[in-house]
Every structure is written in structure tokens, then in C-alpha cells.
Chain A
């Protein structure tokens, strides 16, 4: 922001008796900032604000063109400030402002601050709309307030036509005007050479005849000028030029996940999210998980090229879709922030990720990177930059930094455990004083892989499961269908109407009810598998109902027809064949439980290691992030022993925190600096080589845990224990099962041995 008062300090050159004394000064108070001071008469309110350090939005730099700088001059005597303010204490509306008000309208009682010059004392209110760095609350999964201060801002300038007297180049004339109007450092100001070709056409097309020289300078009616809007990156590089006046500039924030990628299209000056698009990461065809991608690069000469192109291609498609959805084009995008795990980060930037494929997992760089989008093959605005935040470690990437920025762990006093649940779990623990991060190799079980009837979280997947502990009846919910479905063992027989709704229905009413039911049934989506959140809930519910013991074994003689055995391995039917779209039952198998036990133990052990290094026995709050994290029910996750004990009221799911963090960095460049500081400050714990990892991992295999107490789950766990027919042996050292339990187990085992 400029402090220049060039407009005000114009000396009176026309008379022969230039006054020596200072011009008179007037008191100016700005609300709600509360800034005040004495300002020379004749200065515009916009410049007065700049002199007093009050930030008012302006794109046109004081040409009564953008109307962003509107303020209200209060009327009357204000005893608290001891000031008498009046609309007549500033100059009246100039022709351009009057024209604008007539054509497009201004806020009631407001003036363009660039047109109102000081004549007397004033109390000025800056409405929210006019504040630079205004705070907006985005409407997303979790509404996060953000101060608008994007890396790209728009500056409108009007240049007189080139003349024989003025030998400066068009760029120099533009740069000089930008520097003067917007208080920029002329020395640092430069233009992206790639957009130079658009400079003169933009000036030519922006040619206009001034209606009036409303701002009182020496241009007169009918003068020809060239109006052009420059998009300025980080206050120093012109990255886009458009003829005429523009006040919208677009950016895209992208989270590149191993499995899915999501892009938000945003208008940067308003913070408005215009469109959100997501798609599968096309690299899946070259390997399901991260390491398979690295393997692909290692095994194919053109592997990196292939994966990079696939990613960029998908990103171009996403951006094209998002822009097209609101009548824009990819080329309208002027700024991007892209986050992802370290391997996605490398491939996105075209860096060979093979060093991340094995210990010591060294990234090529951990620093934040600003690179031209066009250099990566992105078809966005010619001069647009991509900002890629820093990474923390080989498996703690820019997505993690973005998630911390979004969740503001580093601003809080309470200790937060942030868990980004995915194929590779990323964990952060700490508060404003100290943050520690780790990754945990959970594997793909949480995403429905390694589960016999598992599937991705797509329509038709069972995502929620409830088991009545008393009757062992099963209810589930399917993605794409709002209502709960009660699983029932027999097909088609249609429960008698009056059984459910009592006697007294007329034949007509009963018929209507049946018809309504049938319609409902047809609309109902039948399940075809079970996704990660469904598996987690199913296991936790089975445990609560006493059908599964703490070691992860099905309880053999539980009284339900849903329980079956294949040899020694049990399974539980969740949906009977007639309920599914495949005609096969959907069941949860012993091996599925084992796979989830391994995954959840990795996550829990990672969290415990962080707590151990931090010196904590308890965390204040837990935040579940990641597309998958949002669908996990906190209580079920805790019963399963996926997350440490915590007050359930302080366990929240926040959705795609990494994507939200990318969005924040797009809207506020200070957040980018914050991310850089964070990445350097966050301590990293290497879980796999930690001496306590094996012990913590093995203890965490138990449901919920072999030795850690869960005081916040006490009633639930007590009930589960009471319902269990055979108590499991405690799996920790020194906690031997009671003698009776052991005898029971021994008898069971000897019976098996005889059968062999």
C-alpha cells in the first residue's frame, strides 16, 4: 500500500505567489479501525487512509472506476471523538463518480474515497465490503474464516497514448504508472516475458475516450487514454494484462491425493468458491498405492514422464470442468496452489521420486516452490504461477502442512492430534508451542481394499452399520440412500402390514401402504459391498455386541444365524443375498478383521509414539481429516482403538483439511509464509525405526487396546465385556487371563487337537 500523497502535495504552480506555509490540516478518524490523524486539506480519503495505515480496497488506484473504495462520511457531532463530521467536509461528487452511481449504483450514503477530498474534519466509516484483507467465512464442510490477501491482485491504470515526446517503452510507461498509482517498488517491478506479446494489443484494445476528468487532474474531457488491468503477482510481477477495467481474478486450489484429486475454483478478490470438481487420480492405472507408483517410475524408462503427464492431464481436465461450469475458461485462471503428499509433490513437479521409495526417504527439496504453471504443462493463464507449499519429510508432505494451516494447530493452546486417514496415515500432534508429525503405513484396508467384500466409498457401498446388542439385529446404510435398512433373514415375503402398524387399517389403506413400500423399495439402492467406514463400524459394533472378542476372534457360540465358520475362521453376514445387488451375501470375514486390526494398530501406534515423544498421556482434542476421515464415526473409531482415548465431544471430522489449507494459501499469501515456518518447525518422528514401535503396534492390535485405558468409553466397554460369552485373554504381559477362562480355552483347544 502506498503512503504517497502525490495527489495532495501538488504545489500551486500556476500563480507567481506560491504559498510557503503548509496547507491547512484536518482531523480524520477511520472506523472501525480506530486510526486517526491530521491530514493535509485536499488529500483524498483513500490516500488519507493509506497515510494512516488503514487498508482500503482499490483496483483502479483512484480513478473512480472500480468502486471498491467506498466509505461513509458520518454526519453530526461525535462526543466520544470530540469531532464534528459532515458530508460537506469533503469535496462533492465528481462527474465520474456521479456517472458510476447513476449507471451501476454505490452503497447508500457512501462515497468513493478516491473522489472525496478533505475540506474539514471527518469521521469515516469503512464498510466491510471496502476493506482490503477483509475476512470472509467460506461455506464449506467446515467454515473457516480467512483474511483475503491473495498473491495476485488487480491494478487498473490509464496511460496516455505514446507520443514523440515520451520515449519510454510501453512497458516502462505501464510500470511507472503502476508504481506511482499503487505504491509499488519500481525497481522490483517486472513483467513475465511470456505475456509481453499481450501488452500492446491490450493497450490498443483498452483505448477509450474519457467522459470526464473527474479526479481534478489536468486531463480534459474527450482525452484519449489506454485503460488496462494488470494482474500483479506478489506485488512485483505482471502476470496478466487485459484491456479495460476488470475486477474479477480467478485461482484454483488443488489437493492431489493418491486416489482422488479435488480442485476448488475461487474468485480471489471475494474469496467466493465458484466451483469444486474432483476426479480419480489417473495414476491408479499405474499402481494402486504410492510405492507402486514409485516402482513404476523405477521400472520404466519413461515412467516419470507417463505419471507426470497423467497427473497434469487430469488437472487440466479438472480445471477445464470447473471453469466451464461457471462460464469461464482455463486460461482465466491466474494463480494456483497445489498440495499433495511428498511423492505426488515430486511427480507433479516432474522430479523423480525414486529416492522416496526406500530408506532414508530423502526428498529432492522440502522448500516451497513457485513455478510457472505453463512449465508443468498446465493450460491456465499464460503467466500464472503454481505455488507448492513445503514438505516436512519423505512421507509427511505438503498436504500435511496445508492441513495444519487449515486446522490452526499452531495457534491453539490445547493439544490437538490431527489424523489424516488414508493409505498412508499422516499424524500431527501438538499446539502453539510445539508440533510433532509422523506417518504410519496403514495400508489400503481402510479404503475397502484387503477386505473380501470391500469396495470404495461409492454408491452401493454399506457405509454405516448398527447391531442391536440385545437382539443382534443388523441395520445398515448404503451410500446413495438416506434411510437405514434393517437386514432380515428371509426374502420377498413382505412383512404383514398390520404387524408393524397395528390393527385397524382399512383394505384401502393397507393397499396404499404396500404400494408406498414397494415404491420405496425400488428407490432404495441395494448394497453391493462395504466400504472402509462400514467395515470400521461393523467391527466396532460386533465388538460392542459381544460377537467379537478383544483379540479379534469371532465368539464361536454367539446366538445368531449370521455367524458362520469356514474352518476355524468366522464370518458375520451383514446383508443377506436377497438384500444385495449381487445376489450374494455381504459378510465380514475373520481375515478382514485382521487386516483392519493391522491398519488401526499402525495408526494408533503412530499416535502413541508421538504422544510418547511429546510426553503426553492424553490429548485435548482429535481432528480426523481426509476425505475418508470425514465419514468415520468418532465413537466407532475409538471403540475399535484406531484413535486414543479422548472426550468424544472433542473429536471432530473436518473433511479435506489439506484441500482447505490449499484454498487458504490461495486466498492469503501470509498463509504461505506460515506454511514455510511450520514445515521448518514441525518435528518428524520416524515410526518404523522407533524402539517402541513394535511394542506399541502389538499392544494396539487388541480391540480397543491391550493395556491403554479408555475412560471415555467406560460404559460402552463394560457393556461389551458383559455381553461377551467367552472373555478374551488379556494380551499384555503380566495380565494373565483368569484361571476359569484359561480352562475354557484349554478345553476348546484340546478338542481341536483331538480332531486333528
Chain B
């Protein structure tokens, strides 16, 4: 959040955003949608401003509290749903709005042989909450499907999930395919799931092991900054 510009806003508008963040935190979908409309119509805020000042800033707090163990999965999902509601209002306007800077594009999925969905979905929602474009390929995704989606959406980040010790070795296969296709350099690979470890992630050549959704979002942000600096 751009603090300087936020502090220079009229106090009433600041309060509107803070309430929006609080309502988002509490997962109050209708209230967040109302505040979004109000900011658009009565305060002339651009969709990009609302996204950054209200929604992304609010989800940031949710992410921190999730990381700190204050919030748990249900609360995070509720907040993500509330954010989704507001995005439905903003999305048609965002496409032609010049001021929107998407964080980046992420392709995520649970690897082949594995049908566990929930943790990966949480990561997807948190990434969306942080302003990423998320392509969720679902479960039981093989290497070619990952590669095709990365190409199609010109994605920056690949997120892979596995919940079984028997399926996590498949991540290595996907990374090998990225290497073979010459796509590894431009793709950041993040991996996660209960049986994974940092050592495993390093061994298979992933960029980062993310122990939970909050870490995944932070890692994605850091890598995008590095990427932007490099280019």
C-alpha cells in the first residue's frame, strides 16, 4: 500500500477503506461490495486504487494473521470470498483501466496422482487477494498440462502442490520438462504441501518451498519484484 498517498486522502475516504479492510477481514461479503460501489461512485476512486487501497491491503492483514496463527482456514476463505465478490464489481472495469498493475500471473495445480484440493485452493485465493492473476488447473495435473498453461497465459510463476509422499516426486518430473523446453529460466517454481520439506524443494530444483499460503504469497511477491528489477 502506498502509505503517503493513503495518508493524503480525505479522512472520510480513509475511514471507508479501513472499514472495507475490516469487513474483508471479517468476511462480510455484502459490506465489502457496498463499500466498493461507494468508493467507485461517490469518491471517484479508480478500480486499481480500490483494489490496492482496500482489497489487497485488507487481504495483506488477513495473510499476516493467518501466518501468525490468529486466523485459520475458514476465516481466510471467507475473506477471500468477500474479496471475490468485490472483484466481480471491479473486474469489468479493470480490463480497460490503465492504472492497474497486476502483480503477475501464476499457474497452480495439484500434481498428477494427487487429488487433494483444499490447500492449493487456499493458496490460489490468497494469491488472488494479493493481486495476482491465478490460473488454477485443479487436481491430478500432468507436466504437459502445466507447460501448456504456462505458455498460454505467459505466466511468471508455477505453483505445484502435493499432499502425498508418493506423488510429490512428480514435481521433479515437471521441473525436468521445464528444463527440456527451455522454460525454466523465465518461470519461478514454488512448491508446497504437507509432506514437503525445504530440502526436498532444493533437491528437485524448485525456487522455494512454501510451508503455508501466507508464505506462498510473500514468496510470489518477492520473486516478482526481483523479476521486475532484473528486466
How long is the Cα–Cα vector from A192 to B29 in the complex, in angstroms?
A: 73
| B75 CB contact (under 8 Å) in A594, A693, A731, A733 | A731
A295 near B165: Cβ-Cβ < 8 Å? yes
Interface readout for B186-222 with A: 1 if CB under 8 Å, 0 if not? 0000000011000000000000000000000000000
> Min CB distance, A751 to chain B, in Å?
13
Given A291-B164, A551-B74, A753-B61, answer yes or no on A569-B114 (Cβ-Cβ < 8 Å): no
A291 near B121: Cβ-Cβ < 8 Å? no
Report B-chain residues with C-beta under 8 Å of the C-beta of A441: 116, 163
The answer to whether A249 has its CB under 8 Å from any CB of chain B is no
B77 near A698: Cβ-Cβ < 8 Å? yes
- Of B69, B78, B112, B195, most buried by chain A (CB within 10 Å of CB) is B69
The answer to whether B28 has its CB under 8 Å from any CB of chain A is yes
Report B-chain residues with C-beta under 8 Å of the C-beta of A591: 69
How long is the Cα–Cα vector from A331 to B65 in the complex, in angstroms?
A: 63
Q: Which of B74-121 contact A (CB under 8 A)?
A: 74-75, 77-78, 81, 112-118, 121
The answer to whether A294 has its CB under 8 Å from any CB of chain B is yes
Report A-chain residues with C-beta under 8 Å of the C-beta of B46: none
Given A553-B70, A701-B73, answer yes or no on A291-B166 (Cβ-Cβ < 8 Å): yes
B115 near A689: Cβ-Cβ < 8 Å? yes
The answer to whether A354 has its CB under 8 Å from any CB of chain B is yes
Report B-chain residues with C-beta under 8 Å of the C-beta of A742: 26
How long is the Cα–Cα vector from A295 to B168 in the complex, in angstroms?
A: 10
> Min CB distance, A79 to chain B, in Å?
72
Given A689-B139, A731-B74, answer yes or no on A358-B26 (Cβ-Cβ < 8 Å): no
The answer to whether B17 has its CB under 8 Å from any CB of chain A is no
Q: For residue B19, which residue of chain A has the nearest CB?
A: A746
A749 near B25: Cβ-Cβ < 8 Å? yes
- Of B77, B118, B163, B169, most buried by chain A (CB within 10 Å of CB) is B118
How long is the Cα–Cα vector from A599 to B186 in the complex, in angstroms?
A: 38
A597 near B26: Cβ-Cβ < 8 Å? no
How long is the Cα–Cα vector from A548 to B65 in the complex, in angstroms?
A: 17
Report A-chain residues with C-beta under 8 Å of the C-beta of B25: 749
Report A-chain residues with C-beta under 8 Å of the C-beta of B163: 441
The answer to whether A704 has its CB under 8 Å from any CB of chain B is no
B112 near A701: Cβ-Cβ < 8 Å? no
Q: Which of B148-169 contact A (CB under 8 A)?
A: 163-167, 169
Report B-chain residues with C-beta under 8 Å of the C-beta of A686: 115
B117 near A688: Cβ-Cβ < 8 Å? yes
A745 near B74: Cβ-Cβ < 8 Å? no
| B26 CB contact (under 8 Å) in A289, A689, A737, A753 | A737
Q: Which of A542-575 contact B (CB under 8 A)?
A: 551-553, 567-569
The answer to whether A298 has its CB under 8 Å from any CB of chain B is yes
The answer to whether A53 has its CB under 8 Å from any CB of chain B is no
How long is the Cα–Cα vector from A590 to B61 in the complex, in angstroms?
A: 19
How long is the Cα–Cα vector from A180 to B22 in the complex, in angstroms?
A: 88
Q: For residue B166, which residue of chain A has the nearest CB?
A: A357
A694 near B117: Cβ-Cβ < 8 Å? yes
Interface readout for B54-73 with A: 1 if CB under 8 Å, 0 if not? 00000001001100111011
Given A551-B75, A694-B118, A731-B75, answer yes or no on A357-B70 (Cβ-Cβ < 8 Å): no
A358 near B164: Cβ-Cβ < 8 Å? yes
Q: How many residues of B contact A (CB 8 A)?
A: 37
Q: Which of A702-726 contact B (CB under 8 A)?
A: 702, 706
The answer to whether B136 has its CB under 8 Å from any CB of chain A is no
Given A358-B164, A359-B115, A731-B78, answer yes or no on A745-B26 (Cβ-Cβ < 8 Å): yes
The answer to whether A697 has its CB under 8 Å from any CB of chain B is yes
Report B-chain residues with C-beta under 8 Å of the C-beta of A141: none
Report B-chain residues with C-beta under 8 Å of the C-beta of A552: 72
How long is the Cα–Cα vector from A567 to B117 in the complex, in angstroms?
A: 30
Q: For residue B64, which residue of chain A has the nearest CB?
A: A756
| A749 CB contact (under 8 Å) in B22, B77, B113 | B22
Q: Which of A112-169 contact B (CB under 8 A)?
A: none
The answer to whether B45 has its CB under 8 Å from any CB of chain A is no
Report A-chain residues with C-beta under 8 Å of the C-beta of B69: 568-569, 590-591, 594
How long is the Cα–Cα vector from A737 to B28 in the complex, in angstroms?
A: 10
Q: Which of B114-146 contact A (CB under 8 A)?
A: 114-118, 121, 139-140
The answer to whether A729 has its CB under 8 Å from any CB of chain B is yes
The answer to whether A381 has its CB under 8 Å from any CB of chain B is no
Report B-chain residues with C-beta under 8 Å of the C-beta of A590: 69
The answer to whether A194 has its CB under 8 Å from any CB of chain B is no
| B28 CB contact (under 8 Å) in A295, A298, A443, A736 | A736
Report B-chain residues with C-beta under 8 Å of the C-beta of A488: none
B22 near A746: Cβ-Cβ < 8 Å? yes
Q: Which of B20-60 contact A (CB under 8 A)?
A: 22, 25-29
Report A-chain residues with C-beta under 8 Å of the C-beta of B118: 693-694, 697-698
B77 near A358: Cβ-Cβ < 8 Å? no
> Min CB distance, A703 to chain B, in Å?
11
How long is the Cα–Cα vector from A749 to B164 in the complex, in angstroms?
A: 36
How long is the Cα–Cα vector from A698 to B27 in the complex, in angstroms?
A: 14
Given A295-B165, A729-B26, answer yes or no on A443-B72 (Cβ-Cβ < 8 Å): no
Q: For residue A741, which residue of chain B has the nearest CB?
A: B26
> Min CB distance, A593 to chain B, in Å?
9
How long is the Cα–Cα vector from A597 to B71 in the complex, in angstroms?
A: 13
> Min CB distance, B40 to chain A, in Å?
23
B78 near A733: Cβ-Cβ < 8 Å? yes
The answer to whether A280 has its CB under 8 Å from any CB of chain B is no
The answer to whether A241 has its CB under 8 Å from any CB of chain B is no
> Min CB distance, A26 to chain B, in Å?
71
Report B-chain residues with C-beta under 8 Å of the C-beta of A358: 112-114, 164, 166-167
| B164 CB contact (under 8 Å) in A357, A733, A745 | A357
How long is the Cα–Cα vector from A594 to B28 in the complex, in angstroms?
A: 23
| A736 CB contact (under 8 Å) in B26, B65, B121 | B26
Report A-chain residues with C-beta under 8 Å of the C-beta of B61: 749, 753
Q: Which of A574-592 contact B (CB under 8 A)?
A: 590-591
> Min CB distance, A305 to chain B, in Å?
19
> Min CB distance, B112 to chain A, in Å?
7
Report A-chain residues with C-beta under 8 Å of the C-beta of B26: 729, 736-737, 742, 745
Interface readout for A279-301 with B: 1 if CB under 8 Å, 0 if not? 00000000101011011001000
| A569 CB contact (under 8 Å) in B64, B68, B116 | B68
How long is the Cα–Cα vector from A591 to B70 in the complex, in angstroms?
A: 10
Report A-chain residues with C-beta under 8 Å of the C-beta of B74: 551, 698-699, 701-702, 706, 731
A295 near B72: Cβ-Cβ < 8 Å? no
| B68 CB contact (under 8 Å) in A357, A567, A746 | A567
Report B-chain residues with C-beta under 8 Å of the C-beta of A569: 68-69
Given A292-B165, A749-B22, answer yes or no on A359-B114 (Cβ-Cβ < 8 Å): yes
| B113 CB contact (under 8 Å) in A357, A745, A746 | A357
**A-B contacts, 19 listed (Cβ < 8 Å):** A291-B165, A291-B166, A292-B165, A295-B166, A357-B113, A358-B112, A358-B167, A359-B140, A443-B194, A551-B75, A552-B72, A569-B69, A689-B117, A693-B117, A731-B78, A733-B29, A736-B28, A749-B22, A756-B64
List residues of chain B with CB under 8 Å of any chain A CB.
Answer: 22, 25-29, 61, 64-65, 68-70, 72-75, 77-78, 81, 112-118, 121, 139-140, 163-167, 169, 194-195
Pick the 10 closest A-B CB pairs, nearest first: A358-B113, A357-B166, A568-B68, A731-B74, A295-B165, A569-B69, A688-B115, A291-B165, A359-B115, A294-B166
Give 15 A-B pairs besides A358-B114, A688-B115, A749-B65 with Cβ atoms closer than 8 angstroms: A298-B166, A359-B114, A551-B72, A553-B70, A569-B68, A590-B69, A688-B116, A688-B117, A689-B117, A698-B73, A701-B72, A701-B73, A731-B78, A736-B26, A737-B26
